[in-house]
Amino acid sequence: MRGAGTGEVKEVISHLDQSDVERAMLKSLLVALKTRDADTYDHSKRTVKISLLLGQKCGLNQREMRSLELGALLHDIGKIGVPDNVLRKPGKLNDSEWAMMRRHPRLGQEILRGLSFLDDARTIVAQHHERWDGTGYPLGLRGEEISLSARVLFVADAFDAMTSDRVYRQAKSYDEAIAELDSCSGTHFDPQVVAAFHRFPRREWERLARGKNLFIVPDYQDRRRGHSS
């Protein structure tokens, strides 16, 4: 079982233009996340592709796209530090449990501290629950105080969360998820990122919501093949 899990993680990161040491570090982080909570790991994989498609539409450059990919892949790494009774609770969280869950961006930021090749991704991880109107967490940043990459990830994260089954609710339909994005545009979400979401054909997003082609990501850079890790 363990070999199959590490092999699948290796496939997820096989295209990334990193040194062997960096790829080994990434693999260790992702294996830890997958072992801790497979649903969170699968959500992270889906969120990568949604984020990169949105990032292209929002005009991110190659370096920003690379950081966005890493940030999306690791955005919930801090949930490793959330207790099981909170992370896997089959119902709504109470106030104290919600406070523990809201710690995961800071925990993720701390887990990635000192890994210089993840510095930009670390900022994205730290900010991915900040809201356009300043009501997010952990810092209450608003508008363009939040990095564009984190604003992109926030929309991608929310879309996948809404269109995926959770232990406490069934998935929303595409139309319901789009209506939620639109209703929160300008409050939770950057309106320009929501507008970029609408520039993709519905069939593309529905395919993503069904979890198709999770290993295929937009080709935003010259990719080196054949690395081992």
- Choose among 167, 127, 128: nearest CA to 39: 167
| The pLDDT value given to residue 3 | 44
| The pLDDT value given to residue 215 | 44
Is residue 80 a part of any domain in this protein? yes
Residue 79, CA atoms < 13 Å, CB-side half-sphere: 22
Is residue 158 a part of any domain in this protein? yes
Is residue 11 a part of any domain in this protein? no
Which carries the bigger pLDDT value, residue 214 or residue 86? Answer: 86
The 10s digit of each residue's pLDDT in 76-124 is 999 999 999 999 888 889 999 999 999 999 999 999 999 999 999 999 9
Is residue 139 a part of any domain in this protein? yes
Which SS3 state, helix, strand or coil, does residue 60 take? Answer: coil
Total structural domains in the chain? 1
**CA end-to-end span of the chain:** 19
Q: How confident is the model at residue 210 (pLDDT cuts 50, 70, 90)?
A: low
The 10s digit of each residue's pLDDT in 167-182 is 667 888 889 999 999 9
Is residue 7 a part of any domain in this protein? no
Is residue 223 a part of any domain in this protein? no
| The pLDDT value given to residue 157 | 96
Note whether 228 and 19 are within 8 A (CB): no
- Structural domain including 113 reads 37-209
Is residue 169 a part of any domain in this protein? yes
Which carries the bigger pLDDT value, residue 52 or residue 167? Answer: 52
pTM: predicted TM-score of the whole model, two decimal places = 0.87
Domain of 83, CATH number, reads 1.10.3210.10
- Choose among 82, 14, 90: nearest CA to 45: 14
